Amino acid sequence: MYEKSRQLFDIARTCIPGGVNSPVRACGNVDSFPLFIDKAKGSRLWDVDGREYVDFVLSWGPMILGHADDDVERAIMDAVRRGTSYGAPCPVELALAREVVEALPGVDMVRMVNSGTEAAMSALRLARAATGRTMLVKCIGCYHGHADPFLAAAGSGVATLAIPGTPGVPPAVVADTLLVPYNDLAAAEECFDRHGEDIACLIVEPVAANMGLVLPQEGYLEGLRRLTKANGSLLILDEVITGFRVAYGGAQKRFGIDPDLTVLGKIIGGGLPVGAFGGKRRYMEMVAPQGNMYQAGTLSGNPLAMSAGLATLQALKTKDYDALERRTAKFANELGNVLARKGVAVQTPSIASMFGIFFCPELVHNFAQVGLCDQRRFTRFYSGMRERGVYLAPSAFETGMVSFAHSDEDFERALDAAKAVDF
């Protein structure tokens, strides 16, 4: 089984660090090895050995329309025929920017970049420029890319590999990063009481999706908005995952939060590399060349990524988000019931088209509680599902994703697989 994937992984480790180009893909923390993917369409993947999978990773979130959506594919091919990169402005980047501005209540202007990491580090620089302050508040377990200031107590791949920050980040770089638990408003208030005059911004995933799926408790996001405003600090919503997934207008529209700055990625590129940061006009006008806060990128606004993103957002305008949320919630609940009938303590929270799997007796609200979940049981579950043709993220610190392409048959196949997994 998986003979070609094993062979390719052996070769890859001779020329790529760890054999992968992003650490969590290596699957070592789930006692396995990565599958090498040959192709994808709709809700399905096929590996190089010809095995088919129902995909609940969706390239870690971007493929909300499903893989190789016809309209997105057509937009990319049309763009390819006009050239793959200009290093100059093009009409499609303006069109995508206008779609983003119209969709997100907290975004008056937006700057396109090439990754979520680049977007987050640029938003941080802008917040520091706007306030004249240096300190950053982030939530333990939230992941905002791999830029140095954000790697203190990060979630996602850092947590998966149990890396405490990372070698190569000087202590001085994270000295201005203040840490508070997610969903703990009192801790955030105490942090601002101590350091409020020096805090440039607080950055948060409005729905924590890099420590599994952890939902914001009632009043938490509203409390952070009041707290930052009262202290003259900026609130940055990291909507790399939630943007255009929890609602067309993002988490800020769903929860009624008005951020100063917003970080985007994933869906706005339709599966191609992309990122963006945007926000209130008074801050975004500080970005060069209009202002003196410097940020640049040779491939920013790449016509292929812009075309894919524009086609994706235009398609999403016609989609029934509420119906997909109901289907996702039903699946998550049924999955939880299947596992509970096996005598397994499990929680399967969901929101919009995302779901989580925590092997623990009580719903989790922060990263410390996630760490108490049964990771060995997750490893057995992951392996059992993969063997039965269901592709999940190879980490208990990631979130399951559902697309508009997923069918009832896909959900039934996943539930049947879960019934057969031996714990």
47 contacts 35 by C-beta, under 8 angstroms: yes
163 pLDDT above the threshold of 80: no
Fold designation for 70-316: Aspartate Aminotransferase; domain 2 (3.40.640)
* Domain over 3-65+320-420 is classified CATH 1.10.10.10: no
> Tell me, what's the pLDDT at 170?
80
| Beta pairing partners, 389 | none
Q: What is the mean pLDDT of residues 354-365?
A: 96
The whole-number pLDDT of residue 289 equals 98
Burial of 269-293, coded b for 16+ CB within 10 Å and e otherwise, reads bbbbbbbbbbbbeebbeebeeeeeb
What's the pLDDT at 29? Answer: 86
pLDDT mean over 72-101: 98
Task: For residues 310-314, give the mean pLDDT.
Answer: 98
Using the predicted structure, report yes or no on whether residue 159 has a pLDDT greater than 60: no
Percent of the chain at pLDDT above 70?
97
Report the pLDDT averaged over residues 335-354: 97
Q: What pLDDT, on the 0 to 100 scale, is given for residue 346?
A: 97
109-125, pLDDT tens digit by residue? 999 999 999 999 999 99
Q: Where does the chain hold its CATH 3.90.1150.10 domain(s)?
A: 3-65+320-420
**Integer Cα distance of 243 and 318 in angstroms:** 16
Q: Round to whole Å and give the CA distance between 251 and 236.
A: 12
Instruction: Specify the residue for token string 């590999």.
Output: 161
Given the residues 143, 182, 321, 391, select the one marked as catalytic. Answer: 143
Mean pLDDT, all residues of the chain: 95
Percent of all residues in the chain with a pLDDT value above 90, rounded to a whole number: 91
What six digits make up the tokens of 212?
């599994």
Is pLDDT of 354 > 50? yes
**Residue 260 confidence (pLDDT) above 70:** yes
The residue among 228, 223, 131, 146 whose CA lies nearest residue 182 is: 223
pLDDT of residue 156: 46
Taking the C-alpha atoms of residue 359 and residue 361, their distance in angstroms, rounded to an integer, is 7
Confidence grade of residue 310 (pLDDT, cut at 50, 70, 90): very high
Q: Is the pLDDT of residue 253 over 80?
A: yes
Mean pLDDT of 230-254: 98
Residue 253 falls in the annotated catalytic set: no
**Phi, psi for 279 (deg, rounded to 5):** 165, -155
Nearest to 139 by CA among 351, 356, 349, 366: 366
**Identity of the residue numbered 40:** A
pLDDT at residue 161 greater than cutoff 90: no
What burial class does residue 177 get, using C-beta atoms within 10 Å of its C-beta: 0-12 exposed, 13-18 middle, 19+ buried? buried
The residue annotated as part of the active site, out of 47, 55, 138, 266, is: 266
143: annotated active-site residue: yes
Q: Is 296 exposed, middle or buried (0-12, 13-18, 19+ CB in 10 A)?
A: exposed
Mean pLDDT, residues 83-110: 98
Does 160 score more than 80 pLDDT?
Answer: no
Q: What is the pLDDT of residue 165?
A: 61
Residues of the chain with CATH 3.40.640.10: 70-316
pLDDT at 197 over 70: yes
Q: How confident is the model at residue 151, as a pLDDT?
A: 83
**pLDDT of 287 strictly over 50:** yes
The reply to whether 408 belongs to the active site is no
Segment 177-188, tens digit of pLDDT: 999 999 999 999
Choose the catalytic residue: 69, 184, 238, 374.
Answer: 238
